[in-house]
């Protein structure tokens, strides 16, 4: 009678001793990326595999999940279920997602493949390889989910081309390029811990709950389907951090530095998400500030209490991020509104109902600082002088967001925050202490940044005039600008049998449907 094996033991035996121990080539050559960051691994066998998922079980579960997901996608398309959305303005969230997030999933797929090659311990190696494959899944299922929307709405028709070129997409792209150009341990600290463990809910909740609140069942299904993968990824992130800290005390300051850096980098990327969450969703599950309080202040606070015994502290400048939560989405949305003519999605001024919601959610700041601004812009638009910025913004050398953040933590929220550093006799501008620190720590890296505005001025983006640049981005005239009067709006109305009517009738029909 064969002896019984529990799951843990069985998994251990199936992968037992697979890690490659080179003798014909040097270990340094075979695993050439493993040591140059200064991380010390004394014993890979101490790696506690967090999933214990065998390959055949993975095939089975994932195939079952995908079968269900694609069934929903197919029925969504067949029934033209996009007609059931709360409002077509919601689709702009999907435009941001396919342009800004999906290409990052792809980058993660390739990045984790590198770790799967470069880590010499088989436990971490196999975990990374599984994540690499998951990330490909997310890329491809997102493409397939949004494919139907692309057929009925503008702005989503060339996401990968755009991601490599467009000014606002250099924010997410440079963040991932940053991680991917770093060594493998920094990459995984950035992606698995700083992003997936610390901040993933701040991405997931706005998009997936946003989808649920606004009648987008295809995206909701994708979200739930991805969630079980994500929970594996989060576990990997935490396991990795604990492993590095337990392996050698010299690793602690290195890891802390990476957490500080990539927390701030990821947080700046999420600035775009905050604007989407507070302004793009016709029906909002919660405000950015509420999400930040729950998912960062409370959850990350508790996490770092746990991690304190390893010698880790909260990421540097987290207080600034918390202070900014009162302002972030409004500042970003206002800037995007200024540049609506150069985007492949629509922006608009919040209507009365939305502004009341924002006042309620942001009692300390919205009425004081931001409502007057929107009211003035609304007045200007009414007078035929729609406010738009004809110039090009100065970008932060690190996060690449236009210089729009203010001195919130210095109690001066109307003063734009500027920092600068000198390197090799040149001046480099950053948006915050967080970004300046990052620049000063690795100036030789950040001088290479492909800053879209600089590139435009250097003539590398299709020409000197705005239409040439937009053409180079593959933007079409109907892709950007205000939502009101857009091709998307006209079409949405036609979809619902309306030929005329003000924006309010849309809201009503959305409410009727939500009630139904």
Kindly determine how many residues on this chain lie close enough to bind other proteins according to the rule CB under 8 A. 102
CA distances from 173 to 269, 289, 450 (A): 9, 25, 10
> Which residue from 6, 42, 56, 384 is in contact with other proteins, where contact means CB under 8 A?
56
The CB-of-481 to other proteins minimum distance in angstroms stands at 17
Q: Least distance to other proteins from the beta carbon of 394, Å?
A: 17
- In this structure, the number of other CB atoms found within 10 A of the CB of residue 412 comes to 11
What x/- string results for residues 101 through 140 when contact with other proteins is judged by CB under 8 A? --x--xx-xx--xx-xx----x---x--xx-xx--xx-xx
What the block records as the tokens of 351 is 């209507």
Segment contacting other proteins by CB under 8 A, of 147-155, 269-277, 287-295, 422-430: 147-155
Q: Coil, strand, or helix at residue 94?
A: helix
Take residue 418 and report the two structure tokens written for it.
Answer: 């500027």
Taking the complex as a whole, the smallest distance from the CB of residue 117 to other proteins amounts, in Å, to 4
What is the number of alpha carbons within 13 Å of residue 332 lying toward its C-beta? 24
Q: Does 516 bind other proteins (CB under 8 A)?
A: yes
Scanning residues 387 to 406, which ones bind other proteins (CB under 8 A)? none
Q: Would residue 410 be called left, alpha or beta, if left means φ above 0 and alpha means ψ between -120 and 50 degrees?
A: alpha
The reply on whether position 3 binds other proteins by CB under 8 A is yes
Quick one: which of 6, 43, 63, 424 contacts other proteins (CB under 8 A)?
Answer: 63
Residues in 306-325 at the binding interface with other proteins, rule: CB under 8 A = none
The reply on whether position 494 binds other proteins by CB under 8 A is yes
Scanning residues 211 to 230, which ones bind other proteins (CB under 8 A)? 215, 217
Most distant CA pair in the chain, distance: 87
Please report where in the chains the tokens 């004394």 appear, as a residue.
42
Q: Which is nearer to other proteins, 249 or 498 (CB)?
A: 498
Given a contact cutoff of 8 angstroms between Cβ atoms, the answer to whether 277 and 288 are in contact is yes
User: Does 18 interact with other proteins (rule: CB under 8 A)?
Assistant: yes
Question: Is 262 within 8 Å of 185 (Cβ atoms)?
Answer: no
Report 156-175 residues binding other proteins (CB under 8 A): 156-161, 163-165, 170, 173-174
Shortest distance, position 252 Cβ to other proteins, whole Å: 21
Examine residue 64 and tell whether it contacts other proteins (CB under 8 A).
yes
Question: Phi, psi (5° rounding) for residue 415?
Answer: -100, 120
Question: Between 17 and 384, whose beta carbon lies closer to other proteins?
Answer: 17
Under the binding rule (CB under 8 A), the answer on residue 513 touching other proteins is yes
Residue in 59, 50, 48, 54 with CA at minimum distance from that of residue 14? 54
The binder of other proteins chosen from 35, 247, 455, 471 (CB under 8 A): 455
The full DSSP string for 218-275 is HHHHHHHHHHHHHHHHHHHHHHHHHHHHHH-TTHHHHHHHHHHHHHHHHHHHHHHHHH
Per rule CB under 8 A, is residue 154 in the interface with other proteins? yes
Binding flag, residue 5, other proteins (CB under 8 A): yes
d(CA 29, CA 26): 5
- The reply on whether position 25 binds other proteins by CB under 8 A is yes
- If one asks whether residue 178 binds other proteins (CB under 8 A), the answer comes out as yes
């Amino acid at each position: 009678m064969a002896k019984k094996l529990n799951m843990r033991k069985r998994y251990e035996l199936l992968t037992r001793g697979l890690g490659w121990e080179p003798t014909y080539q040097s270990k340094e050559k075979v695993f050439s990326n493993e040591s140059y960051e200064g991380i010390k691994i004394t014993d890979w066998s101490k790696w506690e595999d967090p999933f214990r998922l065998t390959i055949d079980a993975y095939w089975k579960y994932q195939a079952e999940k995908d079968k269900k997901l694609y069934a929903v996608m197919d029925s969504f398309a067949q029934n033209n279920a996009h007609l059931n959305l709360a409002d077509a303005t919601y689709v702009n969230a999907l435009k941001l997602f396919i342009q800004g997030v999906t290409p990052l999933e792809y980058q993660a797929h390739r990045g984790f493949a590198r770790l799967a090659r470069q880590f010499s311990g088989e436990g971490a190696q196999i975990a990374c390889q599984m994540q690499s494959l998951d990330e490909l899944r997310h890329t491809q299922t997102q493409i397939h989910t949004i494919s139907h929307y692309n057929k009925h709405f503008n702005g989503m028709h060339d996401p990968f081309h755009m991601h490599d070129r467009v000014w606002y997409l250099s924010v997410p792209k440079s963040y991932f390029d940053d991680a991917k150009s770093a060594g493998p341990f920094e990459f995984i600290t950035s992606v698995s811990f700083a992003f997936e463990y610390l901040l993933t809910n701040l991405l997931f909740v706005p998009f997936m709950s946003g989808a649920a609140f606004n009648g987008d069942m295809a995206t909701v299904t994708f979200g739930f389907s991805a969630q079980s993968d994500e929970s594996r990824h989060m576990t990997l992130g935490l396991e990795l951090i604990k492993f590095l800290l337990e392996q050698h005390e010299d690793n602690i300051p290195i890891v802390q530095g990476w957490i500080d850096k990539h927390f701030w980098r990821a947080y700046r990327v999420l600035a775009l998400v905050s604007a989407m969450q507070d302004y793009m969703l016709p029906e909002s599950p919660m405000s950015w500030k509420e999400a930040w309080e729950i998912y960062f202040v409370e959850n990350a606070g508790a996490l770092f209490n746990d991690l304190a015994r390893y010698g880790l502290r909260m990421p540097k400048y987290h207080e600034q991020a918390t202070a900014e939560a009162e302002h972030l989405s409004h500042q970003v949305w206002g800037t995007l509104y200024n540049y609506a003519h150069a985007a492949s999605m629509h922006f608009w001024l919040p209507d009365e109902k939305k502004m009341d919601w924002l006042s309620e959610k942001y009692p300390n700041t919205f009425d004081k600082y931001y409502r007057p601004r929107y009211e003035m812009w609304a007045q200007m638009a009414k007078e035929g002088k729609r406010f738009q910025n004809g110039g090009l913004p100065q970008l932060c050398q690190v996060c690449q967001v236009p210089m729009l953040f203010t001195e919130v933590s210095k109690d001066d929220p109307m003063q734009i925050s500027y920092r600068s550093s000198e390197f090799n006799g040149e001046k480099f501008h950053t948006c915050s202490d967080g970004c300046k620190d990052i620049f000063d720590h690795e100036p030789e890296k950040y001088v290479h940044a492909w800053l879209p505005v600089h590139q435009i001025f250097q003539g590398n983006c299709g020409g000197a005039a705005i239409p040439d640049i937009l053409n180079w981005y593959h933007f079409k005239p109907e892709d950007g600008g205000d939502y009101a009067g857009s091709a998307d709006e006209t079409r949405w109305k036609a979809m619902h049998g309306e030929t005329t009517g003000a924006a309010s009738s849309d809201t009503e029909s959305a409410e009727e449907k939500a009630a139904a």
